[in-house]
């Protein structure tokens, strides 16, 4: 006895749909194993790790800069613990971690991408000749040929990441300074926008960018240069975690010290009125108020705490970033 053969007719759309689903899944998994995705994830993990470990120093640093509580590091720590307990030292760290993950991910992704593009352009110019521009009838070589790729990439990366995530920076500082004023992130956001307008979420952006460009450019330039020279000197292809930690710490310290007065001014502008002081309306007025009320020393208020924060934060960030790249097999080294 022969069983009847059942024939199922179809129009061919099912295999086509399966092929499309397979291609989409292949595209997604391919993207997750890409160099760019590895850099993004490494940057996010580096940001969260470094910010969480240095959160207590950042809390003290912010309070000293804006003039809240005692004027010393130890006094500020005691004041925080007495009023809010040990957990107060990590106040705002949830926002800080939420802010740091996308900032570091975006910043390092843009940095690596722009640096790679500039290196590629330099190689092309070496073969085809550098591009030229006409300035007032004089033909001159395009100036980017002489600029450091890491310096340009660092400046661009700093601007892009800061503009993208700036409201989270404002929320973090408000949480740190105005203790007890806000119940949650959404409460803080709603209250600030309702009372001060949406512009308050971007207060201090201009001075931030003014101080950020030289900081970010010098920071990445120093790290890249020191790393390259150290590798040449020691004849190492890959640095260990301790070496990366120290090079990153030094790069952060040197860059921060140069732009610290601008950092003080922007913090004052971001947090608004504190301890009965006048509320600055713009960057220029902020500088004037600091100079009138505290003198030149006011521009360096909290610099000791800043150094204590910047050095480990920068070192830990680079150490974690390089280690994550190693684990994810991300190659970003340029020739």
Residue among 216, 210, 205 at smallest CA distance from 256: 216
- pTM comes to 0.69
- Could you tell me the pLDDT band of residue 33, with boundaries at 50, 70 and 90? low
191-214: pLDDT as tens digits: 888 888 888 888 878 877 887 888
Range in 31-35, 55-59, 228-232 the model is least confident about: 31-35
pLDDT at position 245 over 90? yes
Please give the average per-residue pLDDT across 79-102, as a whole number: 78
Higher pLDDT, 301 or 233: 233
Residue 30 neighbours by CB distance under 10 Å: 10
Report how far residue 35's alpha carbon sits from residue 333's, in angstroms, rounded to the nearest whole number. 12
Report how far residue 165's alpha carbon sits from residue 204's, in angstroms, rounded to the nearest whole number. 13
95: which 2 tokens? 């926002």
pLDDT at position 17 over 70? no
Give helix 241-271 / helix 303-327 axis angle, nearest 10°. 130
Of the segments 59-73, 269-283, 302-316, which one has the largest average pLDDT value? 302-316
- Could you tell me the pLDDT band of residue 178, with boundaries at 50, 70 and 90? low
29: which 2 tokens? 């998994």
Please give the average per-residue pLDDT across 265-283, as a whole number: 64
Range in 24-33, 45-54, 61-70 the model is least confident about: 24-33
Please give the average per-residue pLDDT across 250-263, as a whole number: 85
- Could you tell me the pLDDT band of residue 85, with boundaries at 50, 70 and 90? confident
Of the segments 33-47, 62-76, 180-194, which one has the largest average pLDDT value? 33-47
Is residue 289 within 8 A of residue 280, CB to CB? The reply is yes
Please give the average per-residue pLDDT across 264-268, as a whole number: 76
Please give the average per-residue pLDDT across 98-119, as a whole number: 89
Higher pLDDT, 164 or 4: 164
Is residue 96 within 8 A of residue 165, CB to CB? The reply is no
In the prediction, which pLDDT does 315 show?
92
3-state secondary structure the chain: CCCCCCCCCCCCHHHHHHHHHHHHHHHHHHHHCCHHHHHHHHHHHHHHHHHHHCHHHHHHHHHHHHCCCCCCHHHHHHHHHHHHCHHHHHCCHHHHHHHHHHHHHHHHHHHHHHHHHHHHHHHHHHHHCCCEEEECCEEEECHHHCCCHHHHHHHHHHHHHHHHHHHHHHHHHHHHHCCCCCCCHHHHHHHHHHHHCHHHHHCCHHHHHHHHHHHHHHHHHHHHHHHHHHHHHHCCCCCCHHHHHHHHHHHHHHHHHHHHHHHHHHHHHHHCCCCCCCCCCCHHHHHHHHHHHHCHHHHHCCHHHHHHHHHHHHHHHHHHHHHHHHHCCCCCCCC
- Side-chain-side CA neighbours of 312 within 13 Å: the count stands at 14
Start-to-end CA distance of the chain, whole Å, equals 74
Please give the average per-residue pLDDT across 283-297, as a whole number: 79
For the chain, what is the mean pLDDT? Answer: 78
Give helix 283-294 / helix 241-271 axis angle, nearest 10°. 90
In the prediction, which pLDDT does 27 show?
47
Which residue is associated with the tokens 């890409």? 34
Higher pLDDT, 10 or 85: 85
320: which 2 tokens? 């974690």
Please give the average per-residue pLDDT across 109-136, as a whole number: 80
């Amino acid at each position: 006895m022969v069983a009847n053969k059942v024939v199922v007719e179809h129009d061919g759309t099912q295999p086509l749909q399966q092929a499309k689903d397979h291609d989409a899944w292949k595209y997604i998994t391919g993207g997750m194993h890409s160099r760019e995705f590895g850099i993004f994830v490494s940057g996010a993990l580096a940001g969260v790790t470094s910010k969480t470990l240095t959160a207590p120093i950042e809390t003290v640093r912010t309070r000293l800069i804006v003039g809240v509580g005692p004027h010393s590091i130890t006094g500020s720590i005691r004041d925080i613990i007495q009023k809010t307990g040990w957990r107060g030292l990590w106040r705002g760290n949830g926002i800080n971690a939420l802010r740091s993950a996308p900032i570091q991910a975006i910043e390092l992704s843009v940095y690596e991408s722009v640096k790679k593009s500039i290196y590629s352009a330099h190689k092309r110019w070496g073969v085809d000749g550098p591009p030229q521009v006409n300035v007032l009838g004089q033909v001159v070589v395009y100036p980017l040929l002489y600029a450091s790729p890491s310096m340009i990439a660092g400046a661009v990366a700093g601007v892009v990441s800061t503009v993208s995530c700036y409201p989270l920076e404002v929320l973090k500082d408000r949480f740190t300074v105005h203790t007890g004023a806000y119940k949650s992130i959404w409460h803080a956001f709603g209250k600030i926008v309702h009372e001060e307008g949406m512009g308050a979420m971007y207060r201090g952006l201009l001075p931030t960018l003014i101080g950020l460009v030289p900081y970010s450019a010098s920071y990445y330039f120093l790290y890249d240069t020191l790393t390259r020279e150290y590798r040449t000197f020691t004849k190492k292809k890959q640095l260990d975690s301790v070496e990366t930690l120290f090079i990153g710490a030094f790069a952060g310290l040197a860059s921060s010290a140069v732009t610290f007065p601008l950092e003080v001014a922007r913090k004052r502008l971001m947090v608004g009125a504190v301890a009965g002081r006048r509320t600055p309306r713009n960057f220029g007025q902020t500088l004037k108020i600091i100079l009138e009320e505290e003198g030149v020393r006011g521009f360096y208020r909290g610099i000791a705490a800043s150094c204590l924060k910047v050095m480990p934060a920068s070192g830990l960030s680079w150490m974690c970033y390089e280690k994550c790249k190693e684990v994810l097999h991300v190659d970003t080294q340029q020739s």
